[in-house]
Amino acid sequence: MTHPAPVPGACPPEDVPVETSLAALVERARGLVAKAGTSRVLLGVTGAPGAGKSTLSAALIAALGPVAAICGMDGFHLANVELERLGRAGRKGAIDTFDAHGYVALLRRLAADPPHVVYAPAYDRSIEESVAAAVPIGPEVRLVVTEGNYLLVDEAPWDAVRPLLAEAWYCELSDDERVRRLVARHVAAGKAPEDARRWATGSDAANAAVVAATRRRADLAVRLG
């Protein structure tokens, strides 16, 4: 399908084009690298919790090989001890439970394409904490896929993210399937099933509403099922 050329930082029309083919998405990502020439390019993958952002990002990296790497927003979760201090532990994952300034600073470093390895943090679900310097992004990486909930929020400091992205893709999934995945994820992380469902339909749902309001700023909606 044909898409208009993206304008970094611009707001596309409300009727965002939709893509349903993973193969087409891989080729689109390759096209971003080719268009950038010798420059490094950043691709944003966003959407509500449980919509498939991590799955899509991993599939892109697997298809593109060593020229691509992931820098996840979740690596900038505030530490649990800090969330307790701030009184926000009960809504971890909300927009104010991340080091947004740190995330923007790292994206700017990556976009500057330095001739050395840049280390990014990663979120470890087994311990529910971020791990510093867990992801090496070397100078051979031409495409950085950054995925997370709040990439298209237009309030500071999050509004500094969108201008750094060549494109932003918004993952969509039916609410029933998305909640099912979230419940399974929370159970796998150690929550009791009833607590997992309460979190998925409470805190996660509130965060999903914030993310849904940003959809119009995406270049593409992705529906892979």
CATH of the domain at 191: 3.40.50.300
Terminal Cα distance for the chain, rounded: 19
Residue 206 falls inside a structural domain: yes
What is the structure's pLDDT at 86? 98
For 25-34, how does the pLDDT look when each residue is reduced to its tens digit (9 = 90+)? Answer: 999 999 999 9
Q: Which two tokens stand for residue 92?
A: 């971890």
Number of domains in the chain: 1
Whether 3 maps to a domain, the answer reads: no
The partner residues of 44 in beta bridges, in order of sequence, read 146, 168
In a domain, 187, yes or no: yes
Handedness of CA 107, 108, 111, 116 (dihedral sign): negative
What pLDDT, in 10s, does the model give residues 96-119?
A: 999 999 999 999 999 999 999 999
Rounded to the nearest 10 degrees, how much is the dihedral formed by the CA atoms of 130, 132, 135, 136? 170
Which of 40, 86, 72, 92 has the alpha carbon at shortest distance from 199? 92
Of residues 135, 165, 149, 163, the one with CA closest to residue 40: 165
The whole-angstrom separation of Cα 17 and Cα 221 is 6
- Give the residue numbers spanning the domain of 29: 18-222
Model confidence at 188, in pLDDT bands (50, 70, 90)? confident
pLDDT digits (tens, 9 = 90+) for 146-174: 999 999 999 999 999 999 999 999 999 98
| Average pLDDT over every residue of 28-50 | 96
Q: Which one is predicted more confidently, 191 or 120?
A: 120
Q: Render pLDDT for 57-67 as a digit per residue (tens, 0 to 9).
A: 999 999 999 99
Asked if residues 68 and 60 have their Cβ atoms less than 8 Å apart, the reply is yes
Question: Is 62 inside any structural domain?
Answer: yes
The answer to whether residue 8 is domain-embedded is: no
- Residue at 182 is within a domain: yes
Q: Is the pLDDT of residue 2 over 50?
A: no
122 touches 131 (CB < 8 A): yes
Is residue 210 assigned to a domain? Answer: yes
* Integer Cα distance of 160 and 152 in angstroms: 9
pLDDT range class, residue 14, cuts 50, 70, 90: low
- Give the closest residue to 91 by CA, choosing from 205, 189, 214, 225: 205
56 is a domain residue: yes
Ordered DSSP codes for 93-115: TSGGGB-HHHHHHHHHHHHT--S
The β-bridge partners of 221 are: 18, 170
